[in-house]
Amino acid sequence: MGKTVRQLLAEIDSAELTEWMAYAQLEPFGSKIDNFRSGMICATVANYAGKVRGDKAPAAMPDDFMPALDASPGRRSSEEPILLDDPEAQARLLKAALFGVK
């Protein structure tokens, strides 16, 4: 089994941690960059399919396929959750955000 962040930080010094932080700036890793790479593939396929059909729609972008990072009007770009007191209102919000259901 892998180590926890706390265990790893206990085993490395600040110089090594700084090196890893610099490396992450040059070569990003983790789920956010993986999601972006997947979004690039989705956008490429969607744009190709649109060209084949002759669509005049604007080109798809990777963040069109990454709802958590979508900063379009009406959507929040932060990762802070929206929690409503009314369960029915929460369900409607989720349907609207995920599926465009009004």
**CA dihedral over 71, 72, 73, 79, signed as positive or negative:** negative
Instruction: Indicate yes or no: pTM above 0.75.
Output: no
pLDDT at 40 over 90: yes
**54 vs 47: which has the higher pLDDT:** 47
Total number of domains in the chain:
1
pLDDT at 84 over 60: yes
The pLDDT assigned to 79 comes to 60
Residue identified by tokens 């919000």 is 93
Quote the domain boundaries for residue 52: 5-99
Average pLDDT over residues 65-84: 63
pLDDT at 49 over 70: yes
Q: Which of 2-6, 46-50, 77-81, 94-98 has the lowest mean pLDDT?
A: 77-81
**69 vs 45: which has the higher pLDDT:** 45
Q: How far apart are CA 45 and CA 65, in angstroms?
A: 11
